[in-house]
Amino acid sequence: MNVHVEDISSVRKRILIQLPKEEVDKEILSTIKDYAQKVRIKGFRPGKVPFSILERYYGKAILEEARDKLIERSFGEVLREKKLMPLIPPSIERGDLKKGEDYSFIVDMEIKPSFELPKYKGIEIKKELPHVTEEMVEKKLEELRRQYASLEEVKEDRPVVEEDQVVVHCALVEVGGEKKEEEPRTVLIDLTDQNVNSVWKKELTGKKVGATGRVNITFDETHPKRELRQKEVAIHYEIKGIKRLVLPPLDDEFAKAVSSQFETLDQLKDRLREILKESERKRIENATVETLKEALLQQVDFEVPNGLVEGEINAYIQSMVERAQSSGVDLETALGPYESLREELRPKAIRNVKEMLILADIAEKEGISVQQEDILNELGRQAQVSGQSIEALFNYYQKREMLSALRYQILRDKTLKYILEHAKIKEEGLDPEGSVNNSQQEAV
C-alpha cells in the first residue's frame, strides 16, 4: 500500500491511498466466496454456484462491496499509522474497482487544529455589581400598570395628542414609485409605541377625526412583507377615531388586582424589586461568562475546520426553521434568502467552534467529563421549567440526534464554571446603597 498525505491547510488533509492489484483480486475473491454462501440461484445447491455465474448476476454489487471493504480497512490503517483523527466524516473519492488492476482512492478530511491553550487559571475578569434603583422599580410598576389599563373612546372634539392611540382607515396606493390598488383596512396606531414609525406620529398629531391625508414611509429590511422591504410606499389614510389609555390608580386595590398574594402596593413593589434583582443577577452572570469567553478567545488564534462551521450554521438554521414553523410564519419571510443567511451566521459559527475546541481541550487537561448523572440532572432541570417528564425530554433529544449537543452543553458549562472558580474577579459598580464599590475576589 502506498500512501501520500498532502497538507491542504493546517486543518485539512488530502490522502491518496494506492493498493496493488494482488490485494484487489484477493478482496474480490473473498467477496465472491461470501456471496456463494448467502445467495440462492435456481438450479444450484447452496454454496455450489460457480463463481462465473455469481459475477454475471452480482458483478457490480460484488465489486462495490469489495471496494468499500478495501477502503475501510486501508483507511483505518492509515489513520492509526499517521495518528490522524477526522473531526467529521471524511469525503472519499471512491472511483471504480476493477479485477486485475491497481486501485486508488482519495480522502479529504479535516483534523483538529493545533494550538496552545490560553491562560485560563487566574484569568482577570471585571464583573458588575447588581444594582437596582427605585427608578427601575417605578418603571417596572408603570409597565405593569399599562398592562392593566383600559382603552376608552375619546368623546370630546379634540385633536390627536402624542399619548393617543388612533383608529386609522388606510390603504397602500404606491410601492416603489409604482401605483398599487389595495383594499383599505382599519388599524390601531399607538403613538406611544417606540416601534411605530415616527412618520405616523408627526402626521397624525394635531389632526381630528375625519381628517384625511397621505404619508410616504420607507420600510427597512425587517418588514414582515418581503415585497415591501427597503421600499418607499405611499399610504392614503382617514382618521376614524381616537382612543386613550386609562391607567388604573396606583394604590392597594391595584396591587390586589395584580395578585391575591399582595395586600398593599408596597408589597407589590417589594416583589418587583426582587424580580429586578434576580434579572440583574442573571444578566450579570451571563455577561461575566461572555467576558470570560472573550478573554480566552483573544489569547489564541487558529484556523477553524470548515466542516464544523457548516455544521454549526446548519444547526442555527434548523432551529430557526422549527421556530418559524411552530409560529406559522412563512419561512422565506422569516429567514430571507438562504445563502445570505448562511453568510450572516458564519462569523458567529466560527466563534462558537473556536470556543468549543478551546473549552474541550481545557476539559481534557483538567479531567472534566460528563457523566450520566450530569445528563439526568440537566434533563431534570429542564423538566421543572417545561413541565415535561425527563423521559419525554430524553426521547426528544434522542429522536433529533441532539444528545451529543446536550453532552457538549453540559461539558461547556462545567468547564466555564471551573475557570470562573479559578479566576480573579474584580467587582465594579455601585453597591445597593448607591456608593462606588471596587472589590477584587480571587477564587481558589
Question: Which distant-in-sequence residues (6+ apart) come within 8 Å of 251 by Cβ?
Answer: 265
- What is the number of other CB atoms lying within 10 angstroms of the CB of residue 224? 11
pLDDT, tens only, 380-399: 999 998 889 999 999 988 88
For the domain made up of 303-442, the CATH class stated in words is: mainly alpha
Q: Per the structure block, which three cell numbers stand in for 319?
A: 432551529
Contact 258, 143 (CB under 8 A): no
Residue 281 · residue 201 · CB < 8 Å: no
Average pLDDT on 54-59 reads: 86
CATH (residue range 150-246): 3.10.50.40
Fold classification of 2-110 (topology level): Alpha-Beta Plaits (3.30.70)
Q: Dihedral, CA atoms, 112, 116, 120, 124, nearest 10 degrees?
A: -130
Region 36-42: mean pLDDT is: 81
Q: In the structure, what pLDDT confidence band is assigned to residue 27 with cuts at 50, 70 and 90?
A: very high
The pTM score is 0.73
Which sequence spans correspond to the domains of the chain? 2-110, 150-246, 303-442
**Higher confidence at residue 75 or residue 40?**
75
Q: Residue 197 — very low, low, confident or very high, per pLDDT cuts 50/70/90? A: confident
Question: What radius of gyration do the chain's Cα atoms show?
Answer: 33
Q: Which strands, in side-by-side order, build the sheet including 103-110? A: 2-7, 12-19, 103-110, 91-93
Q: Which residue has the cell 493546517?
A: 10
Pick from 103, 105, 106: which is nearest to 20 by CA? 103
- Give the integer Cα–Cα distance in Å for 212 and 196: 19
Q: Report percent pLDDT > 70 for the chain.
A: 93
Where does 204-342 show beta strands of DSSP type E? Answer: 212-218, 232-246
As beta bridge partners, residue 108 has 14, 91
Q: Indicate the average pLDDT of the chain.
A: 89
